[in-house]
Chains A and B, each alone.
Chain A
Amino acid sequence: GAVVSQHPSWVICKSGTSVKIECRSLDFQATTMFWYRQFPKQSLMLMATSNEGSKATYEQGVEKDKFLINHASLTLSTLTVTSAHPEDSSFYICSAVLGLGTQYFGPGTRLLVL
């Protein structure tokens, strides 16, 4: 149990385009999901907290207009990187909260912006 999926697993896009990443909790409902960014050989950096039915809470320094988050249902949250640029290339990982506090992570999405 407690499986979280992400789609796509990797994406290559041209600079200036937008990319949508989906995060789904497959066998449980998650009121709260998180979005992280991870650079090579570094820890996970929290970007935003996504709560079903309400606006996402962004961490300091994360542009909410650039990284649009929608948590439309208890099993789906989406992250849209708008007008992507090469510096947005990274490994994006979502997590979903089961119960009181256990976070289960998705497999990640590798984004490469050319």
Chain B
Amino acid sequence: QQQVKQSPQSLIVQKGGISIINCAYENTAFDYFPWYQQFPGKGPALLIAIRPDVSEKKEGRFTISFNKSAKQFSLHIMDSQPGDSATYFCAASIETSGSRLTFGEGTQLTVNP
């Protein structure tokens, strides 16, 4: 019940295209859903996060779509750039229970020039 399933495992997109990464969770107590971006040899960096009271959040080229009834959320990267090539992790937590994150398996995104 604590798992977060992420897909696809890898994704190749052309420059200017839209990258879409999906995650699904089981635990309905989760109330915080962040996405992290990680470059090789670096720590994950918080990209964008959403709470279940909204269905969408947009920050620049990055958008989270959240479907509470389906227990799914996704990251959309518009106008994908080669510099976006990285590994993306979705995660979920219960904020009032110590902030412990449950991570998805990760998606390796490659944006071709």
Contacts and interface: CB of A to CB of B under 8 A. Distances in A.
Interface of A: 2, 4, 6, 32, 34, 41-44, 46, 49, 91, 93, 95, 97, 100-108, 110
Contacts of B46: 2, 102-105
Given A101-B32, A101-B93, A102-B49, A108 B42 contact: yes
A105 B36 contact: yes
Nearest to A9: B41
B16 to A, nearest CB: 27
A100 B105 CA distance: 24
Contacts, number: 58
A103 B42 contact: no
Looking at chain B, what size class is its interface with the partner chain?
A: 20 to 34
A102 B36 CA distance: 11
B42 to A, nearest CB: 6
Contacts of B25: none
Nearest to A4: B43
B98 A32 contact: yes
Given A34-B100, A46-B100, A97-B99, A102 B42 contact: no
A43 B98 contact: no
Interface string B28-51: 000010101000011111100100
Residue among B46, B49, B105 with max Cβ neighbours from chain A (10 Å): B46
A108 B41 contact: yes
